[in-house]
Amino acid sequence: MATPHEDWMLPAGVADVLPPEAEALERLRGTLLALYRSWGYQLVITPMVEYLETLLTGVGQDLDLQTFKLTDQLNGRLMGVRADMTPQVARIDAHHLHGEAVRRLCYVGTVLHTRPDAFGGSRCPLQMGAELYGHGGCESDLEVLELMLESLRVAGVVDVHLALGHSGILRATLDAAGIPPPVRPLLLDILQRKASPDLASFLSAHAVSAEGGGLLRALLELHGEPDVLPLAAEQLAEMPAAAGPLQELRWLVAQLRERWPAVALHVDLAETRGYGYHGGLVFAAFQHGQGREIARGGRYRMGGLQQARPATGFTADIKTLLLASEPRVPAPAPHTVLAPATQDAALRDYVERLRREGHCVVTALPGAASPPAAAIIEPDGQGGWHMRHCEDEKE
Protein backbone atom coordinates (compact mmCIF):
# COMPACT_ATOMS: atom_id res chain seq x y z
CA MET A 1 0.00 0.00 0.00
CA ALA A 2 1.33 3.36 -0.98
CA THR A 3 1.13 5.99 1.70
CA PRO A 4 -0.80 9.15 0.73
CA HIS A 5 2.56 10.84 0.33
CA GLU A 6 3.80 8.20 -2.12
CA ASP A 7 0.69 8.56 -4.24
CA TRP A 8 2.24 11.70 -5.66
CA MET A 9 5.52 10.13 -6.57
CA LEU A 10 6.35 9.75 -10.25
CA PRO A 11 7.71 6.46 -11.60
CA ALA A 12 11.48 6.03 -11.35
CA GLY A 13 13.31 7.85 -14.12
CA VAL A 14 10.30 10.00 -15.00
CA ALA A 15 10.36 13.70 -14.17
CA ASP A 16 8.34 16.88 -14.54
CA VAL A 17 10.04 19.85 -16.12
CA LEU A 18 9.01 22.98 -14.24
CA PRO A 19 9.38 26.70 -14.99
CA PRO A 20 11.79 28.17 -15.90
CA GLU A 21 13.59 25.02 -17.21
CA ALA A 22 10.56 24.07 -19.28
CA GLU A 23 10.74 27.41 -21.04
CA ALA A 24 14.48 26.98 -21.67
CA LEU A 25 13.93 23.46 -22.98
CA GLU A 26 11.18 24.59 -25.32
CA ARG A 27 13.28 27.49 -26.54
CA LEU A 28 16.20 25.17 -27.30
CA ARG A 29 13.86 22.81 -29.11
CA GLY A 30 12.60 25.68 -31.26
CA THR A 31 16.13 26.94 -31.95
CA LEU A 32 17.30 23.51 -33.05
CA LEU A 33 14.29 22.89 -35.28
CA ALA A 34 14.83 26.29 -36.89
CA LEU A 35 18.46 25.34 -37.48
CA TYR A 36 17.47 22.08 -39.19
CA ARG A 37 14.92 23.90 -41.32
CA SER A 38 17.64 26.26 -42.48
CA TRP A 39 19.76 23.26 -43.52
CA GLY A 40 16.84 21.78 -45.48
CA TYR A 41 15.80 19.09 -43.00
CA GLN A 42 12.02 18.55 -42.96
CA LEU A 43 10.25 17.76 -39.70
CA VAL A 44 8.43 14.45 -39.27
CA ILE A 45 6.27 13.53 -36.28
CA THR A 46 6.28 9.82 -35.53
CA PRO A 47 3.65 7.98 -33.47
CA MET A 48 4.17 7.21 -29.78
CA VAL A 49 3.28 3.54 -30.39
CA GLU A 50 3.36 1.18 -33.30
CA TYR A 51 3.40 -2.55 -33.90
CA LEU A 52 6.54 -4.29 -32.80
CA GLU A 53 7.18 -5.77 -36.24
CA THR A 54 7.76 -2.33 -37.69
CA LEU A 55 9.16 -0.65 -34.59
CA LEU A 56 11.87 -3.24 -33.99
CA THR A 57 12.70 -4.31 -37.53
CA GLY A 58 16.42 -4.56 -38.07
CA VAL A 59 17.37 -3.11 -34.71
CA GLY A 60 19.43 -4.75 -32.01
CA GLN A 61 18.35 -6.62 -28.92
CA ASP A 62 19.22 -3.64 -26.73
CA LEU A 63 16.41 -1.60 -28.21
CA ASP A 64 14.02 -4.53 -27.88
CA LEU A 65 14.74 -4.69 -24.15
CA GLN A 66 14.33 -0.91 -23.84
CA THR A 67 10.87 -0.98 -25.43
CA PHE A 68 7.68 -1.07 -23.34
CA LYS A 69 5.17 -3.47 -24.89
CA LEU A 70 1.42 -3.46 -24.73
CA THR A 71 -1.39 -5.33 -26.47
CA ASP A 72 -3.59 -3.62 -29.03
CA GLN A 73 -7.12 -4.40 -27.73
CA LEU A 74 -8.48 -4.11 -31.29
CA ASN A 75 -6.67 -7.13 -32.67
CA GLY A 76 -4.43 -8.61 -29.99
CA ARG A 77 -1.19 -7.61 -31.71
CA LEU A 78 1.75 -6.39 -29.68
CA MET A 79 2.61 -2.73 -29.81
CA GLY A 80 5.72 -1.00 -28.56
CA VAL A 81 6.12 2.48 -27.14
CA ARG A 82 8.93 4.16 -29.07
CA ALA A 83 12.29 3.92 -27.30
CA ASP A 84 14.21 5.40 -30.23
CA MET A 85 12.76 7.45 -33.07
CA THR A 86 15.50 6.72 -35.63
CA PRO A 87 14.01 3.40 -36.87
CA GLN A 88 10.62 5.10 -37.19
CA VAL A 89 12.09 7.85 -39.33
CA ALA A 90 13.90 5.25 -41.49
CA ARG A 91 10.57 3.46 -41.91
CA ILE A 92 8.95 6.71 -43.03
CA ASP A 93 11.69 7.27 -45.58
CA ALA A 94 11.45 3.72 -46.89
CA HIS A 95 7.68 3.27 -47.00
CA HIS A 96 5.91 6.61 -47.10
CA LEU A 97 8.04 8.98 -49.09
CA HIS A 98 8.84 7.71 -52.52
CA GLY A 99 11.56 8.48 -54.99
CA GLU A 100 15.29 8.08 -55.07
CA ALA A 101 16.11 11.69 -54.30
CA VAL A 102 18.26 12.55 -51.32
CA ARG A 103 15.95 13.25 -48.38
CA ARG A 104 16.70 15.14 -45.20
CA LEU A 105 14.43 14.59 -42.21
CA CYS A 106 14.51 15.74 -38.60
CA TYR A 107 12.45 14.83 -35.57
CA VAL A 108 12.00 15.60 -31.91
CA GLY A 109 9.92 13.86 -29.27
CA THR A 110 9.83 12.11 -25.94
CA VAL A 111 10.81 8.46 -25.99
CA LEU A 112 10.30 5.96 -23.20
CA HIS A 113 12.80 3.40 -21.93
CA THR A 114 11.97 0.34 -19.85
CA ARG A 115 15.10 0.71 -17.76
CA PRO A 116 16.50 3.88 -16.27
CA ASP A 117 19.57 5.04 -18.01
CA ALA A 118 22.57 4.38 -15.74
CA PHE A 119 23.41 8.07 -15.86
CA GLY A 120 20.94 10.35 -14.15
CA GLY A 121 18.41 7.56 -14.22
CA SER A 122 16.11 9.08 -16.86
CA ARG A 123 13.64 6.85 -18.64
CA CYS A 124 12.15 9.54 -20.85
CA PRO A 125 14.71 11.52 -22.82
CA LEU A 126 13.56 14.23 -25.21
CA GLN A 127 15.14 12.81 -28.33
CA MET A 128 16.07 15.03 -31.23
CA GLY A 129 17.92 14.16 -34.40
CA ALA A 130 18.45 14.59 -38.11
CA GLU A 131 18.85 11.93 -40.79
CA LEU A 132 20.00 12.08 -44.39
CA TYR A 133 18.81 9.30 -46.73
CA GLY A 134 19.81 8.30 -50.24
CA HIS A 135 23.47 9.26 -50.33
CA GLY A 136 26.30 6.86 -49.63
CA GLY A 137 29.34 9.14 -49.76
CA CYS A 138 31.39 10.69 -47.00
CA GLU A 139 30.16 14.18 -48.00
CA SER A 140 26.80 13.36 -46.39
CA ASP A 141 28.59 11.98 -43.31
CA LEU A 142 30.39 15.29 -43.05
CA GLU A 143 27.13 17.20 -43.47
CA VAL A 144 25.35 15.48 -40.56
CA LEU A 145 28.49 15.62 -38.45
CA GLU A 146 28.71 19.36 -38.98
CA LEU A 147 25.01 19.73 -38.27
CA MET A 148 25.55 17.94 -34.96
CA LEU A 149 28.46 20.25 -34.09
CA GLU A 150 26.37 23.25 -35.11
CA SER A 151 23.52 21.97 -32.88
CA LEU A 152 25.92 21.80 -29.94
CA ARG A 153 27.19 25.29 -30.74
CA VAL A 154 23.74 26.90 -30.85
CA ALA A 155 22.78 25.00 -27.69
CA GLY A 156 25.71 26.70 -25.96
CA VAL A 157 27.71 23.51 -25.42
CA VAL A 158 31.39 24.42 -25.39
CA ASP A 159 34.63 22.44 -25.06
CA VAL A 160 33.41 19.65 -27.31
CA HIS A 161 35.50 16.56 -28.02
CA LEU A 162 34.57 14.55 -31.07
CA ALA A 163 35.35 10.84 -31.31
CA LEU A 164 35.41 9.17 -34.73
CA GLY A 165 35.39 5.49 -35.59
CA HIS A 166 34.55 3.32 -38.57
CA SER A 167 32.78 -0.01 -38.33
CA GLY A 168 34.18 -0.94 -41.75
CA ILE A 169 37.65 -1.23 -40.22
CA LEU A 170 36.34 -3.32 -37.36
CA ARG A 171 34.46 -5.62 -39.73
CA ALA A 172 37.48 -5.97 -42.03
CA THR A 173 39.67 -6.90 -39.06
CA LEU A 174 37.23 -9.53 -37.77
CA ASP A 175 37.00 -11.00 -41.28
CA ALA A 176 40.77 -10.97 -41.80
CA ALA A 177 41.32 -12.60 -38.40
CA GLY A 178 38.84 -15.32 -39.40
CA ILE A 179 36.57 -14.85 -36.38
CA PRO A 180 33.50 -17.07 -36.93
CA PRO A 181 30.17 -15.20 -36.55
CA PRO A 182 28.93 -17.15 -33.48
CA VAL A 183 31.80 -15.91 -31.29
CA ARG A 184 31.84 -12.36 -32.65
CA PRO A 185 29.53 -10.97 -29.94
CA LEU A 186 31.97 -12.21 -27.30
CA LEU A 187 34.90 -10.54 -29.08
CA LEU A 188 32.94 -7.33 -29.67
CA ASP A 189 32.23 -7.15 -25.94
CA ILE A 190 35.96 -7.51 -25.24
CA LEU A 191 36.82 -4.80 -27.77
CA GLN A 192 34.11 -2.50 -26.41
CA ARG A 193 35.68 -2.78 -22.94
CA LYS A 194 39.20 -2.46 -24.43
CA ALA A 195 39.95 -5.42 -22.18
CA SER A 196 43.35 -6.50 -23.46
CA PRO A 197 43.70 -9.17 -20.75
CA ASP A 198 40.46 -10.78 -21.97
CA LEU A 199 41.55 -10.44 -25.60
CA ALA A 200 44.64 -12.51 -24.83
CA SER A 201 42.55 -15.32 -23.32
CA PHE A 202 40.04 -15.10 -26.20
CA LEU A 203 42.80 -15.46 -28.79
CA SER A 204 44.18 -18.61 -27.20
CA ALA A 205 40.77 -20.11 -26.39
CA HIS A 206 39.55 -19.73 -29.99
CA ALA A 207 42.84 -20.64 -31.70
CA VAL A 208 43.05 -17.37 -33.63
CA SER A 209 46.04 -17.29 -35.99
CA ALA A 210 49.10 -15.27 -34.97
CA GLU A 211 48.45 -12.76 -37.79
CA GLY A 212 44.78 -12.42 -36.82
CA GLY A 213 45.72 -11.96 -33.18
CA GLY A 214 48.25 -9.33 -34.14
CA LEU A 215 45.64 -7.39 -36.09
CA LEU A 216 43.16 -7.50 -33.21
CA ARG A 217 45.76 -6.43 -30.67
CA ALA A 218 46.80 -3.58 -32.94
CA LEU A 219 43.17 -2.51 -33.38
CA LEU A 220 42.68 -2.36 -29.63
CA GLU A 221 45.54 0.11 -29.29
CA LEU A 222 44.57 2.27 -32.28
CA HIS A 223 42.88 5.11 -30.47
CA GLY A 224 43.99 8.60 -29.64
CA GLU A 225 44.61 11.80 -31.54
CA PRO A 226 44.10 11.64 -35.30
CA ASP A 227 47.79 10.86 -35.77
CA VAL A 228 46.89 7.22 -35.07
CA LEU A 229 45.51 7.14 -38.64
CA PRO A 230 48.87 6.95 -40.45
CA LEU A 231 49.94 4.38 -37.85
CA ALA A 232 46.77 2.40 -38.56
CA ALA A 233 47.48 2.53 -42.30
CA GLU A 234 50.85 0.91 -41.59
CA GLN A 235 49.67 -1.69 -39.11
CA LEU A 236 46.56 -2.68 -41.05
CA ALA A 237 48.25 -2.52 -44.48
CA GLU A 238 47.66 -6.26 -44.97
CA MET A 239 43.92 -5.66 -45.11
CA PRO A 240 42.81 -4.03 -48.37
CA ALA A 241 39.27 -3.71 -46.95
CA ALA A 242 40.49 -1.25 -44.32
CA ALA A 243 42.12 1.13 -46.79
CA GLY A 244 38.89 2.78 -47.99
CA PRO A 245 37.51 3.44 -44.49
CA LEU A 246 40.90 4.79 -43.34
CA GLN A 247 40.96 7.11 -46.33
CA GLU A 248 37.45 8.34 -45.43
CA LEU A 249 38.52 9.05 -41.87
CA ARG A 250 41.59 10.98 -43.01
CA TRP A 251 39.45 13.09 -45.32
CA LEU A 252 36.93 13.82 -42.54
CA VAL A 253 39.67 14.74 -40.08
CA ALA A 254 41.19 17.17 -42.59
CA GLN A 255 37.81 18.82 -43.24
CA LEU A 256 36.93 19.06 -39.56
CA ARG A 257 40.31 20.48 -38.57
CA GLU A 258 39.85 23.24 -41.08
CA ARG A 259 36.22 24.08 -40.30
CA TRP A 260 36.02 23.32 -36.56
CA PRO A 261 39.44 24.16 -35.14
CA ALA A 262 38.04 24.46 -31.59
CA VAL A 263 36.74 20.90 -31.57
CA ALA A 264 39.26 18.36 -30.21
CA LEU A 265 39.34 15.22 -32.36
CA HIS A 266 39.81 11.66 -31.17
CA VAL A 267 39.94 8.53 -33.29
CA ASP A 268 39.00 5.11 -31.93
CA LEU A 269 39.19 2.27 -34.44
CA ALA A 270 38.00 -0.37 -31.96
CA GLU A 271 34.72 1.43 -31.26
CA THR A 272 32.07 -1.26 -31.58
CA ARG A 273 28.94 0.77 -30.94
CA GLY A 274 26.33 -0.16 -33.49
CA TYR A 275 28.52 -2.80 -35.15
CA GLY A 276 25.44 -4.59 -36.41
CA TYR A 277 23.60 -1.42 -37.28
CA HIS A 278 26.10 1.14 -38.40
CA GLY A 279 27.74 0.40 -41.70
CA GLY A 280 30.48 2.97 -41.75
CA LEU A 281 31.47 6.09 -39.90
CA VAL A 282 30.45 6.34 -36.23
CA PHE A 283 30.93 9.48 -34.19
CA ALA A 284 30.11 10.84 -30.75
CA ALA A 285 30.52 14.15 -28.96
CA PHE A 286 31.91 14.33 -25.44
CA GLN A 287 32.34 17.16 -22.98
CA HIS A 288 34.41 17.60 -19.84
CA GLY A 289 32.40 16.77 -16.76
CA GLN A 290 29.89 14.61 -18.62
CA GLY A 291 30.85 11.00 -18.02
CA ARG A 292 29.63 9.90 -21.42
CA GLU A 293 28.66 11.05 -24.88
CA ILE A 294 26.23 13.94 -25.21
CA ALA A 295 25.37 13.35 -28.88
CA ARG A 296 26.17 10.57 -31.33
CA GLY A 297 25.55 9.36 -34.82
CA GLY A 298 26.88 7.62 -37.86
CA ARG A 299 26.11 5.83 -41.05
CA TYR A 300 23.69 2.93 -40.92
CA ARG A 301 21.55 0.66 -42.97
CA MET A 302 18.32 -0.47 -41.44
CA GLY A 303 18.02 -4.22 -41.97
CA GLY A 304 14.61 -5.65 -42.75
CA LEU A 305 13.17 -2.60 -44.49
CA GLN A 306 12.35 -3.46 -48.10
CA GLN A 307 13.49 -0.19 -49.56
CA ALA A 308 16.15 0.72 -47.02
CA ARG A 309 18.47 3.30 -48.45
CA PRO A 310 21.90 4.45 -47.36
CA ALA A 311 21.42 6.62 -44.30
CA THR A 312 23.49 8.78 -42.02
CA GLY A 313 22.37 10.87 -39.08
CA PHE A 314 22.82 11.89 -35.49
CA THR A 315 20.78 12.05 -32.32
CA ALA A 316 20.89 13.64 -28.87
CA ASP A 317 18.72 14.17 -25.81
CA ILE A 318 17.77 17.85 -25.59
CA LYS A 319 17.58 17.57 -21.79
CA THR A 320 21.22 16.42 -21.74
CA LEU A 321 22.23 19.26 -24.06
CA LEU A 322 20.57 21.79 -21.80
CA LEU A 323 22.51 20.43 -18.81
CA ALA A 324 25.75 20.50 -20.79
CA SER A 325 25.24 24.05 -22.05
CA GLU A 326 27.06 27.02 -20.60
CA PRO A 327 24.98 28.88 -18.04
CA ARG A 328 23.86 31.61 -20.35
CA VAL A 329 22.18 34.92 -19.62
CA PRO A 330 18.65 33.89 -18.76
CA ALA A 331 16.04 35.07 -21.20
CA PRO A 332 14.42 38.26 -19.91
CA ALA A 333 11.33 37.34 -17.95
CA PRO A 334 8.33 38.48 -19.94
CA HIS A 335 7.41 42.07 -19.16
CA THR A 336 4.45 41.45 -16.87
CA VAL A 337 1.73 44.09 -17.01
CA LEU A 338 -1.02 44.00 -14.40
CA ALA A 339 -4.56 44.80 -15.59
CA PRO A 340 -7.47 45.58 -13.25
CA ALA A 341 -10.34 43.10 -13.24
CA THR A 342 -12.70 45.86 -14.42
CA GLN A 343 -15.18 44.80 -17.12
CA ASP A 344 -14.74 47.51 -19.70
CA ALA A 345 -14.68 47.32 -23.48
CA ALA A 346 -11.92 49.91 -23.85
CA LEU A 347 -9.78 48.06 -21.30
CA ARG A 348 -10.35 44.79 -23.16
CA ASP A 349 -9.23 46.37 -26.43
CA TYR A 350 -6.18 47.91 -24.78
CA VAL A 351 -5.16 44.57 -23.17
CA GLU A 352 -5.64 42.76 -26.44
CA ARG A 353 -3.41 45.29 -28.20
CA LEU A 354 -0.67 44.98 -25.58
CA ARG A 355 -0.74 41.18 -25.80
CA ARG A 356 -0.48 41.34 -29.60
CA GLU A 357 2.56 43.57 -29.14
CA GLY A 358 4.18 40.86 -27.06
CA HIS A 359 3.45 42.02 -23.52
CA CYS A 360 2.44 39.52 -20.89
CA VAL A 361 -0.76 40.94 -19.39
CA VAL A 362 -2.09 39.39 -16.19
CA THR A 363 -5.43 40.26 -14.63
CA ALA A 364 -5.28 41.26 -10.96
CA LEU A 365 -8.02 38.98 -9.67
CA PRO A 366 -10.10 40.49 -6.86
CA GLY A 367 -9.07 39.26 -3.46
CA ALA A 368 -5.84 37.65 -4.67
CA ALA A 369 -2.34 38.96 -4.05
CA SER A 370 -1.03 40.64 -7.18
CA PRO A 371 1.98 39.05 -8.86
CA PRO A 372 5.06 41.26 -9.21
CA ALA A 373 4.60 43.44 -12.27
CA ALA A 374 6.72 45.79 -14.32
CA ALA A 375 3.74 47.98 -15.15
CA ILE A 376 0.16 48.58 -14.17
CA ILE A 377 -2.78 49.50 -16.40
CA GLU A 378 -4.72 52.46 -15.02
CA PRO A 379 -7.47 54.79 -16.20
CA ASP A 380 -5.82 57.65 -18.09
CA GLY A 381 -8.37 60.11 -16.69
CA GLN A 382 -9.97 60.68 -20.11
CA GLY A 383 -12.16 57.57 -20.20
CA GLY A 384 -9.34 55.47 -21.65
CA TRP A 385 -6.49 53.36 -20.22
CA HIS A 386 -2.74 53.67 -20.09
CA MET A 387 0.26 51.83 -18.71
CA ARG A 388 2.29 53.14 -15.76
CA HIS A 389 5.74 51.60 -15.21
CA CYS A 390 6.53 50.64 -11.65
CA GLU A 391 10.17 51.70 -11.40
CA ASP A 392 10.60 50.81 -7.75
CA GLU A 393 8.78 47.50 -7.81
CA LYS A 394 11.26 45.76 -10.05
CA GLU A 395 12.21 42.31 -8.88
Partner 1 sequence: MSRPLTLALSKGRILDETLPLLAAAGVVPAEDPRASRRLIIEDMAGECRFVIIRAADVPTYVAYGAADLGIAGRDVLMEHGGAGLYEPLDLGIARCRMVVAATVPVPAPRRRLRVATKYPAITYRHYAARSEQVEIIKLYGSMELAPLVGLADRIVDLVDTGRTLRANGLEAIEPVAEISARLVVNRAAMKIRHAAIRTLLIRLQAQVAEAGA
Q: Which residues of the shown chain bind partner 1 in the complex (CB under 8 A)?
A: 118-119, 161, 163, 193-198, 223-225, 264, 266, 268, 286-293
Rounded least distance, CB 394 to partner 1, Å: 40
**Nearest approach, Cβ of residue 82 and partner 1 (Å):** 23
Give the angle 141-144-148 at the CA atoms, nearest 5°: 135
195/239 with CB nearer partner 1: 195
Query: What gap in Å lies between CA 194 and CA 188, rounded to an integer?
Result: 10
Q: Judged by CB, which is closer to partner 1: 81, or 149?
A: 149
Residue 149's closest CA among 296, 266, 336? 296
Nearest to 49 by CA among 75, 11, 88, 15: 88
Shorter beta-carbon distance to partner 1: residue 4 or 291:
291
Secondary-structure percent of the chain, ordered helix, strand, coil, rounded to 5: 40, 20, 40
Whole-number minimum distance, CB 197 to partner 1, in Å? 4
Q: What angle do CA 305, 311, 312 make, to 5 degrees?
A: 145
Note the helical H segments in the chain.
Answer: 21-38, 52-55, 61-66, 86-95, 138-154, 167-176, 184-192, 196-205, 210-221, 228-235, 240-259, 318-324, 345-356
Least distance in Å: CB of 337 to partner 1?
46
* Nearest CB to partner 1, comparing residues 138 and 267: 267
Nearer to partner 1 (CB atom), residue 121 or residue 334: 121
- How many residues does this entry show for the chain? 395
Shortest distance in whole angstroms from residue 123 CB to partner 1? 17
The answer to whether 337 and 375 are in contact (CB under 8 A) is yes
Shortest distance, position 195 Cβ to partner 1, whole Å: 4
**Which among 262, 68, 244, 83 has a CA at the least distance from the CA of 162?**
262
